[in-house]
Copies of this chain bind each other. A is one copy, B any other.
Amino acid sequence: MAVRLRQLEAFRAVSQLGSMTRAAKQLEISQPAVSRLLSSFSASIGFKLFERHKGQLIPTQESRFLLREVSRLLDSLDHIDDLTHSLTARKAGHLRIACLPGFATSHMPRVLAGFLKNRPAVTVTLEPDRPERILEWIIGEQYDCGITDGFSDHPAIDSEDVAMRTVCILPKGHPLGAKSEIAPSDLVDEQFVYARRDSVFFRKLNDVFRAENLTMNYRIETRQFTAACMIVAEGFGVSVVSEMDAMSHRDKGLLIRPFKPMVPHVLSLLRPIHAPASMIALEFLEYFQDSLRPYRMDGA
């Protein structure tokens, strides 16, 4: 007869407590139940588990040997119990996130800190890289979710777009700061700081200028909004960037003005469409969406 879990539990309890009656109390079952569990266990393994001495049940040397292993097993069963609860409550799991480098250093750390705060058993891998690589990773199911921009549909990717507000940023004391709203024509004579000229966002921005027969006058290209903010804050040039990035550099001396017409910066939240959805990943994407709400075009 196979070893039964209940037998092991009874065995451990009796070994520790030295009495079936007490073991029964601890296990919250009746004493005869314990008695039978032990005798069936003993019969199935073929040796005596206890020797009685003055009313105490003393483990035989064999059973002391066994007890070590049995305790280990029951401990790991408890661990599994905990784990299933944590997984259900989305308090455990592993999350692999790929995102744009700009996010990895600005918004993401804050979001992750908040997300992990109440999920002590969740571990995260955060991989910042170029958009194309992010797509590859999601398609290859190496990552559970990706944050990128300029994404257009892909059959293997489940995506959700979020249009983010953008703003014009100016160095402190810049004359345009006097205006409450900036138009393309205001920027024609300024030194423009690009963040990724080839990106969908900057092509759309260009379209706005071209629609009014204006040309953007750019001098510097950076790869991230964050970098553009810092350059402008240093007093060199102006730019149009995501409001979220602009806000986090506000205290570094930066004038922030609405830019009309507003060109949204479209973020995409990605998931591999074929891989089973990780609940923790879905939960994270939801949390991440929430974190964007203050900066969304349609947001509060």
Contacts and interface: CB of A to CB of B under 8 A. Distances in A.
Contact of A69 (B5, B48, B53, B83): B83
Contacts of A48: 276
Nearest to A123: B65
Nearest to A68: B83
Give the interface residue-count category, chain A: 35 or more
Contacts of A281: 61
A117 interface: no
A62 interface: yes
A53 to B, nearest CB: 7
A279 B5 contact: no
B45 A87 contact: yes
Contacts of A46: 84, 88
A53 B274 contact: yes
A69 B76 contact: yes
Contacts of A2: 81
Contacts of A73: 73, 76-77, 80
A66 interface: yes
B59 A276 contact: yes
A283 B81 CA distance: 41
A97 interface: no
A81 B5 CA distance: 12
B47 A66 contact: no
Contact of A76 (B65, B72, B88): B72
Contact of A62 (B65, B70, B279): B279
B79 A47 contact: no
A50 interface: yes
B94 A65 contact: yes
Contacts of A40: none
A278 interface: yes
A165 B87 CA distance: 72
A232 B3 CA distance: 59
B45 A65 contact: no
B87 A65 contact: yes
Contacts of A93: 61-62, 65
A279 to B, nearest CB: 6
A144 B61 contact: yes
Interface in A22-49: 44-48
Name the 10 nearest CB pairs between A and B, nearest first: A61-B278, A51-B276, A46-B88, A60-B276, A45-B84, A73-B76, A62-B87, A5-B5, A69-B80, A58-B276
